[in-house]
Chain A
Amino acid sequence: MTHESIQSMIKKQIKPAVLIFFLLTLLVGIAYPLVITGIAQVIFPVQSNGDLLIHNGKIAGSSQIGQPFSSPQYFWGRLSATAPVPYNAGASSGSNLGPNNPALLAQVQARADALHAADPKNTQAIPVDLVTASGSGLDPDISVAAAYYQVPRVARERTLSDSDLFALVASQIEPRQFGIFGEPRVNVLSLNLALDDISAGKISVPQPAGSGADTNDPPASIFGMRIADWIQLLLFILLVMFIVVPLGAWMAKIYTGKPNVLSPILERIEQKILILGGIDPGEEMDWKEFAVAVMAFSVPCIAVVFLLQLVQQVLPLNPAGLSAVLPDLALNTAVSFATNTNWQAYVPEVTMSYFTQVAGLAVQNFLSAAVGMAVLVALIIAFTRKSGTTIGNFWVLLTRSVMILLPLCLIVSLVLVSQGTPQTFSGAVTVPLIDPVKDSTGALVTTQTIPLGPVASQVAIKHLGTNGGGFYNANSAHPLENPTPFANFVETFAIIIIPAALCMMFGVMIGSKRKGVALLIAMSLIFLPLVGLAIWSEGAGNPALSPMGIDQVPSALQSGGNMEGKEVRFGIVPSALFAVVTTVTSCGAVNSMHDSFMPLAGGVLLFDMQLGEVVFGGVGSGLYGMLIFAIIAMFIAGLMVGRTPELYGKKIEQFEMKMATIVILIPIILILAFTSLAVLTPMGQAGVFNPGPHGFSEILYAFTSAAQNNGSAFAGLSANSLFYNLATAFCMFVGRYATIVLTLALAGSLVTKKIVPAGEGTLHDHRLLFIVWLVFVIIVVGALSFLPALSLGPVAEYMGMIAGGMIHG
């Protein structure tokens, strides 16, 4: 390949890169959110506009957003870590305090002291959600236990009887959604409004309905987990298993251009885009042309998002009047979204205009996911062809990927709107506070600003495209971004279905469904124990809190466990499940603050990413990463059976091993090198929030997340600095594009190889033995690369914790 011909390839791809970029931007950046907004405003006018609570004819707040209550005559809500005032809806945030951080223990102690001071006679153990900060800082709910705990104080303050108040609380209990999802809970704002009404004599005390919840009965549990938690977990697993078959088959049809349910619409759109983009769908590309096309496409992707941020102050749809983003942050964000990482070093509510979010970030959510899927399909094509040099047309595969994402996003968006996620282009609304608070300067704050925006349309693709970049800072912990337990279930589900279904699609396309199932089983064999470990770790709670008289035991009235950074409506199991799902896929959305997870669970989340983001992984990228691990595993296995290894009939030789080894090497080296750089330099150390080994974990997590294109964070780390913006941008870029180019080179080599027919001498790549071996190889590579680092982070923290002493003195 001469220099000239690469140049001519680049020249050839510039025009389609620009044209397709703008056409797809029009489709998913303009048309898509407008359509969703239109439908949402018509069908769900209340939910799509912030779910405002009308009380006695006046707006009394948002039923989704919590308000601060500190007066003894009100029920208190969760602690809130937002600044400068608690429950500042304009800047959602968790505390990000690590489980062994002395500041966390001080905060818990202070809250416990305050509760005791307000009600000295109450010697019950305090329900854990009352002394811990929520992930969003805006949690509208408390557990039933936490409400009951406060009844004697409020009754005394309001001179009401305890039994009346218990009855009031009982009437306010919001049960598990559909009897299945989330935790029974009490909306604090709603309870306090009712309380004021009773005090004012506007309503009477509701009659106790039936026996109510049995407070004293320990909940039925299996292996230490409540039945209700098992149901949610198993339902999730079953539904994923159920959906991947039809979804995988449908995606295979789209990519191979076969008729399907939606072809009348999708094919028309697809053809229009390709024709306007000047693409001849029949013209296939060899791997070099394909790689050039991918890289050419990355230029407008990164450049446009970068520029949009720099000039957003003069662009429309900026109701909050936000100014231009600083260049280093803008670059970081542009690279972050174009690489499907969605690392966010910014607070969206106060940084990005609606226009930037919709036309820049959300567009990249679609396009970066579509690029990953297109590269995967190219690799699959390489495996399926008996000979040849071409691996498909990038523009066609890219467009078809968008065609897959769009209808799914439509469904998820509308489900989210129905649950209370905003979908509007109007600016924030201001609501009054029932119990005004003082900010850090001592000034009284009497109102709360509810941020809105075209949220649902962006959140849908954020999950389906395993992007993870939140519309709000608290991401899916935010009560508007993830309003209900059912919304949470759908969001978790949306993260995993495409990466999982791609395995089935692979099986269909390669002509052996068993091979697809085999990969899915391998992924599940790694995934499920990690979920179990995370749930166990979080469910057990923080041992440091137990001596302080805090009740962390799961019961019918509370989820218990480590509630710091978690939302009451979800509870422990959906939070831990979400956290593992988001880290094994390269999504990076969070519904609870990973920085506040217990050491073991935090370690699990780190390790999830360090496994190479191949257990489900990102859309497309996860499976091509998995196939690369399969190449390595098959190589060693092949040697052990005494013949040159073949995977799916293609011989694995020097070139394949070179590419596969480098692909696996790149993120490992990036993570280790940049973490070293950060811990050794003042600029790197400056970002650390939590002390001791947890602080080290924050840095390690940041570069792991960046290099593996995950995007979640131990968010205590102050990552919006020149150093972190540039360093993580570099990791994200190399971690993404170097891997893609090498994967395409691998595809280019594989496609030319004959397919060796399987026989008795062939090691079957779909049988359990190989699956187990593949799992072993993935875990060993991850463990060998990162065990020493983990041992100075989560492991040291965990060992210190179980040894009984706090690590940091």
Chain B
Amino acid sequence: MAEGETRTAPAIPGLYRRAAVDSVLKLDPRTLISNPVMFTVEAGSALTTLLYLQALTGSGEAPTGFIGAISAWLWFTVLFANFAEALAEGRGKAQADSLRKMRQDTTAKKLNPDYTLIKGREPNEKYIAVVSSSALRKNDLIYVKAGDTIPVDGEVIDGVASVNESAITGESAPVIRESGGDRSAVTGGTGILSDWLIIRVSANPGEGFLDHMIGLIEGAKRQKTPNEIALNILLLGLTVVFIAVAAALYAFSAYSVQAAGAGTTVTITVLVALFVCLAPTTIGGLLSAIGIAGMDRLIQRNVITTSGRAIEAAGDVDVLLLDKTGTITLGNRQAVEFIPVDGTTIQDLAETAQLASLADETPEGRRIVVLAKEKYGLRGRTVGASETSIEMQFIPFSSQTRMSGVDQGALHIRKGAADALFRYIEMNGNTVSDELKEAVDTISRVGGTPLVVAQNGKALGVIHLKDIVKGGIRERFVQLRRMGIKTVMITGDNRLTAATIAAEAGVDDFLAEATPESKLKLIREYQAGGRMVAMTGDGTNDAPALAQADVSVAMNTGTQPAREAANMIDLDSNPTKLIEIVEIGKQLLMTRGALTTFSIANDIAKYFAIIPIAFASTYPALAALNVLGLHNGILAAVIFNALIIVALIPLALRGVQYRAMSAEDALRNNILVYGIGGLITPFIGIKIIDILLVLLGVG
């Protein structure tokens, strides 16, 4: 996991104090009922408190101090579980607060209904009404200009502007937002740096993506995820069993006293203690904390989601559809070759290309300079010349012309995409030679991108730009394969090119010449075969496929339809984020599974701590089962049961360690650590607590 990309959890002042207060507030049974395991523990705590009060009057069923101690520790058990949840929520809230800062009420320039859009023209003042952002509704039109903060989420319907999105992405470089295309979505709270936009509001206040996310991590709207519900059913089942076990023991004990003619019936205090120790309190107490923390980990990686379900589904994904560009290959291609045409020498071409690129700060521009330098030794001379030349004027790349270049007096050098340059050449009255066309085609055929260089409207040659597979991506795919996840590269390239890159990157499969329809079809095929499919996308034409995929991540830079179709948005717009999301999903499930196993395995030791002591008066021979030689086994078990929740809070919040490995290996490791560990730990823990209790003079 690339640590640099994660938003480290901020040190939150008063986090623990607030969590402590919350854990008391959460004792409200109306709140606690949503967690049946802890609710029953609270009921037990209340019952033992009543028994304690009864004991205070002198008619207790057991020594007052014992009932009091048990009762106190049962309350602690509930409080500790509440604390875990409150802590997770607190950390989530801190994340949410920083997100919420951008949701502060701002004013908005609403365009009234009389306004009719005229493309490319700013609206007249008379149509503009300044309103509070909270008064905006879906489909309202608003106007923003440089210096404004975009009040709500929306879609650009006119204008081009640079926008500062650092508040949500942490990336300081401004981004371009414009109507149409794949960069039309804007997020509330981001600021306009230049120019102006007309935006159609895409969500009512409080219904935006961020609002959903804040609701989720604050717990208010947190819905349980499917696996969590299924696990809750199991835990509830176990709880019912243990209630039955404890209740039945009262009857069994009463009968045994009668049958053996010795001892006294086991006390209710002991039975409640036994029940709480057996009930899956460890997992029950930490379950919601695990869920919230999982969501929190997602936000730390700058991914927001509207459903916890999607995170869980991410853990199940077995097919990943990945866009080639930016995910598998570097977004920037490398210049690998100069191909002169129409009689130009290679030296001339290299020189001209270098000149055109010297001031070009795009990665591709730099690659061309590097190629010229390394392959043709073009260094000081040209550079020196360019620096001293006052007339040299750099023409930056624009999306209208799709060319960049340099003008130096009468010298006009242009480079750019083949079709744009062909047009430029023809506009200058020249013809595109067959040789040029062939050079362009050759490069395209082998998976490269041709960049045509022209001087004064005449073609000099072609630069071969090649896709570079990202370093480490191959290893990543090996890991994914080991996790059982199949990777499929999606590209608009032809089959040949796609196959070349697929083989180089080590993906399992690829979809070449991808169209929105073919992507959708591919996803459906996989799903029909029982697979869970994840994909990333940013364009409007990705929307159907995003909607179809089980887990879909839209780039924050993507269009509004894409963002709406997806169930997650990556604020960093980093296509490899999907892999991290899968890992977070798996980690979430693994943490639940591991703690469930741990919780259940713990019970064996607790039996050995409680049963021999509970029935010793009736059957003294059972004392031989007190293998630990405990003096205060029941109290020690209850204390252990409470403290283990606290001890495991960090694990619940952090999640169990995730490493890419096969399911078998993962299970073996987790059984060893949490199963066997869960069997042994309580024996040691209870013994230590018992020793401490004796040292403290208890019993």
List residues of A whose CB falls within 8 A of some B CB.
632, 635-644, 649, 652-654, 656-658, 661-662, 664-665, 668-669, 672-673, 675-677, 679-680, 685, 691-693, 695-696, 754-757, 759-764, 767, 769-770, 773, 776, 780, 783-785, 787-789, 791-792, 795-796, 799-800, 802-803, 805, 807-809
* Inter-subunit contact A776/B675 (CB<8 Å): yes
Checking A654, A679, A787 against B230 with a beta-carbon cut-off of 8 angstroms, the contacting residue is A654
The B interface is mostly helix, strand or loop, or mixed, namely helix
Partner of B664, one of A679, A764, A788, A803: A764
Point out the residue from A639, A763, A785 that lies within 8 Å of B590, measured CB to CB. Answer: A639
**What sequence of 0s and 1s flags, for each residue 619-643 of chain B, a beta carbon within 8 Å of any chain A beta carbon?**
1111011000000000000000000
- Given that A665-B237, A680-B255 are known contacts, is A673 also in contact with B248, CB under 8 Å in the complex? yes
CB atoms of B666 and A787 under 8 A apart: no
Query: Are the CB atoms of A644 and B664 closer together than 8 Å?
Result: no
A632 touches B251 (CB 8 A): no
Q: How far is the CB of A217 from chain B (nearest CB, A)?
A: 38
Asked if A789 and B259 sit within 8 Å, CB to CB, the answer is no
Query: What would 20 A/B residue contacts be, using CB atoms closer than 8 Å?
Result: A635-B230, A639-B593, A642-B586, A643-B316, A643-B589, A661-B237, A675-B252, A676-B248, A679-B254, A757-B531, A761-B485, A762-B663, A763-B663, A776-B675, A787-B607, A791-B611, A799-B622, A803-B621, A805-B621, A807-B260
The segment from B5-13, B44-52, B69-77, B476-484 that touches chain A is: B476-484
- Segment from B330-338, B357-365, B384-392, B595-603 that makes contact with A: B595-603
How distant is the Cα of A58 from the Cα of B459 in the complex, in angstroms? 128
A669 to B675, CA, bound (A): 26
Given contacts A675-B252, A763-B667, contact A796 B615 (CB under 8 A): yes
Complex: A644 Cα to B663 Cα, angstroms: 12
CB of B135 within 8 Å of the partner chain: no
Q: Tell me if A668 and B666 are in contact (CB < 8 A).
A: no
A769 near B530: Cβ-Cβ < 8 Å:
no
Q: Could you tell me the distance in whole angstroms from the C-beta of A787 to the nearest C-beta in chain B?
A: 5
Option from A640, A641, A676, A773 in Cβ contact (under 8 Å) with B247: A676
Which residues of B sit under 8 angstroms from A643, Cβ to Cβ? 315-316, 586, 589, 663
Instruction: Decide: B663 and A764 in contact? CB cutoff 8 A.
Output: yes
Closest to A669 in B: B244
Q: B690 to chain A: which residues have CB within 8 Å?
A: none
**Contact in complex: A657, B316 (CB < 8 Å):** no
Could you tell me if A792 and B615 are in contact, using CB atoms closer than 8 angstroms?
yes
- Give the CA-CA distance A640 to B242 in the complex, in Å: 24
| Contact (Cβ within 8 A) B587 A672 | no
Q: Is there contact, CB below 8 Å, between B230 and A653? A: yes
Closest to B482 in A: A760
Say whether A644 contacts B484, CB under 8 Å: no
Query: Is B165 at the interface (CB under 8 A from chain A)?
Result: no
8 Å CB contact of A789 from B236, B252, B666: B252
Q: With A and B bound together, what is the CA distance between A172 and B599 in angstroms?
A: 62
Known: A661-B237, A757-B530, A784-B603. A640 touches B481 (CB 8 A): no
Of B251, B315, B585, most A-chain CB atoms within 10 Å: B251
| B252→A788 contact, CB < 8 A | yes
Cβ contact of A641, chosen from B600, B615, B667, cutoff 8 A: B667
A784 to B678, CA, bound (A): 15
Contact A639 B611 (CB under 8 A): no
* B607 contact from A691, A764, A788, A792, Cβ within 8 A: A788
A640 x B586 contact (CB < 8 A): no
Closest to A798 in B: B621
- With contacts A640-B670, A644-B316, A788-B611 taken as known, whether A695 is within 8 angstroms of B530 at the C-beta atoms is no
Name the A residues within 8 Å of B671 (CB-CB).
640, 769, 773
Contact pick for A783, options B249, B587, B604, CB 8 Å: B604
Which of A657, A677, A762 makes the CB contact (< 8 A) with B484?
A: A762
Contact across chains for B531 and A692 when beta carbons are under 8 A apart: no
* B143-166 interface bits toward A, Cβ cutoff 8 Å, 1 = contact, 0 = none: 000000000000000000000000
> Residue of A at shortest CB range from B593?
A639
Shortest beta-carbon distance from B605 to chain A in Å: 12
What's the Cα separation between A685 and B252 when bound, in Å? 12
A-side contacts of B278, CB under 8 Å:
784
B667 to A695, Cβ gap below 8 A?
no
Select which of B238, B483, B624 is within 8 A of A760 by beta carbon: B483
Minimum Cβ distance to chain B for residue A773 (Å): 6
Mark B666-699 against chain A: 1 for CB-CB distance below 8 A, else 0: 1110110011000000000000000000000000
**How close is B616's CB to chain A, nearest CB, in angstroms?**
11
Tell whether B529 is near chain A: CB-to-CB under 8 Å: yes
Residue from the set A632, A676, A754 with the largest chain B CB neighbour count within 10 Å: A676
Q: Is B181 an interface residue (CB 8 A)?
A: no
B33 part of interface (Cβ distance < 8 Å): no
Cα A773 to Cα B596 with chains together (Å): 14
Assembly CA distance A677 to B252 (angstroms): 10
Instruction: Report the separation of the CA atoms of residues A805 and B620 in the bound assembly, to the nearest whole angstrom.
Output: 11
Asked whether any CB of chain A lies closer than 8 Å to the CB of B261, the reply is: yes
Within 8 Å of chain A (Cβ to Cβ): is B658? yes
A-side contacts of B483, CB under 8 Å: 760-761
Closest approach, in angstroms, between the C-beta of A622 and any C-beta of chain B? 21
Is B261 touching A809 in the complex (CB atoms < 8 A)?
yes
Q: For residue B251, which residues in chain A have a CB less than 8 angstroms away from its CB?
A: 675-677, 679-680
Shortest CB distance B607–A (Å): 5
CB distance from B479 to the nearest CB of A (A): 11
For B620, the chain A residues whose CB sits under 8 A away are 803
Contacts A653-B226, A763-B663, A799-B621 known; A632 to B589 CB distance under 8 Å? Answer: no
